[in-house]
Amino acid sequence: MRFLSQIFQPIITIPKGAKIKSTEITCKSQKLLLECGLVRPTSSGLFTVLPLARRAITKLENIIHSCLEEVGGQRLSLPCVTSAALWERSGRLGDIGPELVKVEDRHGKKYLLAPTHEEAIADLLADVGPLSYKQLPFILYQIGNKYRDEHRPKHGLLRAREFSMLDAYSIHSSDECATNTYSIVSEAYRKIFRSLDLPVHRVQAPTGEMGGSLSHEWQLPAAAGEDALAVCASCSHTALANQSRTCEKCGRGTDVVNSIEVGHTFVLGTRYSEPLHANFIAQNSSSVPLHMGCYGIGVTRLISASIESLSSDKSIRWPKAIAPYAAVVIGPKEGSKEWIGHGFDKVQSIARQIEQNGGRDDVIIDDRHSLTIGKRLMMADRMGYPYIIVCGRSALETPPRYELYRSAGGEAPRAPQILDIHELLATLHEQTKNKINVEYSEKCVVK
């Protein structure tokens, strides 16, 4: 069982009425993550992710793992340091040059900190190949840190120089097979975003520097977004905004909203396999280039984007599935009448029963008993715990009853439900029983 007093969470307390002048904080997610002790900047575009934010990222990673394993994904880990020669062979070294973080070893060999791994995957397949058509298709994926020398890092984790990303690669014998798997992985993406209750839109996009024949961006509407979506109120069609304000599907007018790109998917064809000689042996015994697809989700960007989309200016609101802790239990102030009648041992008992009722190490106790309940309630609401359980005045009743607050926008949580322990456990169980199962699945639909 975890206690809030033991969590490393360097909160920044701003004096009431103070005027803060900062040109570096440019959006609310950046401000909230910093002030609530979830991240700490180390230099421009680089951040230390602190324990509570790390828990949220781990939960998101588990959801991604589960959804990709369900469609047959196989996890691996590629080095973040990639030979620059591979990027030269693919033709991207010059095209993306200014954004690449380049390094050189003691022997003068040139490397780069990879922003993505298409070349590395193609080189791996070339090194172990040629594969047989009988081994295809399959999906390889990883979640790891990527690097991009942003000209102007801003918005905190939304545009950083180092970031965590899912990158998955599907390997095929034909473009038809690649397109089929593309649809399957797209459904896995939809499941990921549905589990977060986020209104993410898949919109067709240019293939750009990545190349290939098909590309979609996955966009989350948010005021701080640097992209824009054209949304048709009549037919719900969504597309990247352009100069036209007319829906291409029904011909009616569209509304334009800012958005954040949280994912990108491509059918690459032989764009990387051909120059890097990643081949397979076809049924007619000829050696031909593999067909590839690639799929990315910005993990740390999605954490920040979800806060940007759901939160108020003063309080974090998490997707419930990835909140650092699902519930916080707040006990009475030390020395109070409630403390004497409903002490810390009973507070721990409440937390323990919630865990045993499906909380699974997802409950934390705010044991800072020198603070008033009101102060801790405000701090818990600012942190965005989905459920706040308060052992207050009603805990002295027979039977004891507890205040259950649910996170909501604005400066203060909504009016609480007053529940006895059985009603409390039943309510929490009902709210959480439909959570996505993040355990690994053996189901494979790619083959």
DSSP 279-324: EEE-TTS-EEEPEEEEEEEEHHHHHHHHHHHH--SSS----GGG-S
CATH of domain 28-223+259-310: 3.30.930.10
Cα of 366 vs its chain's centroid, Å: 26
Beta-bridge partner residues of 386: none
In angstroms, rounded to a whole number, what is the distance separating the alpha carbons of residues 435 and 305?
Answer: 21
Residue ranges covered by each domain of the chain: 28-223+259-310, 325-432
3-state secondary structure of 439: coil
pLDDT of residue 17: 65
pLDDT of residue 233: 87
pTM: 0.93
Give, in degrees to the nearest 5, the angle at Cα 277 between 96 and 146. 35
What tens-digit pLDDT sequence spans the chain (447 residues)? 899 999 999 998 766 666 655 557 899 999 999 999 999 999 999 999 999 999 999 999 999 999 999 999 999 999 999 999 999 999 999 888 789 999 999 999 999 999 999 999 999 999 998 999 999 999 999 999 999 999 889 899 999 999 999 999 999 999 999 999 999 999 999 999 999 999 999 999 999 989 999 999 999 999 999 999 999 988 989 999 987 788 888 989 999 999 999 999 999 999 999 999 999 999 999 999 999 999 999 999 999 999 999 999 999 999 999 999 999 999 999 999 999 999 999 999 999 999 999 888 999 999 999 999 999 999 999 999 999 999 999 999 999 999 999 976 444 567 899 999 999 999 998 876 645 343 333 333 454
Residue 19 Cα distances to 14, 22, 224, 290, 411, angstroms? 9, 10, 22, 59, 19
CB 172 within 8 A of CB 181: yes
Q: What kind of fold does domain 325-432 have according to CATH? A: Rossmann fold (3.40.50)
Across 61-161, where does the E strand assignment appear?
A: 73-75, 81-83, 101-104, 110-113, 131-132, 138-147
Q: State the DSSP code for 56.
A: H
3-state secondary structure of 125: helix
Write b or e for each residue in 92-106: b if 16 or more Cβ atoms lie within 10 A of its Cβ, otherwise e: bbeebeeebbeeeee
CB 281 within 8 A of CB 132: yes
Phi/psi region, residue 224 (left: phi>0; alpha: psi -120 to 50; beta: rest), is alpha
Give, in degrees to the nearest 5, the angle at Cα 93 between 92 and 98. 110
In angstroms, rounded to a whole number, what is the distance separating the alpha carbons of residues 70 and 440?
Answer: 8
Tell me, what amino acid is at 199?
P
Give me 197's structure tokens.
């209750």
Which residues make Cβ contacts (< 8 Å) with residue 312, sequence separation at least 6? 409, 410, 411
DSSP assignment string, 133-159: GGG--EEEEEEEEEE---SS-BTGGGB
In angstroms, rounded to a whole number, what is the distance separating the alpha carbons of residues 326 and 308?
Answer: 19
Which residues make Cβ contacts (< 8 Å) with residue 306, sequence separation at least 6? 196, 198, 220, 318, 319, 322
pLDDT of residue 410: 46
pLDDT of residue 37: 97
**Which is nearest to 140 in space by CA: 131, 149, 150, 148?**
131
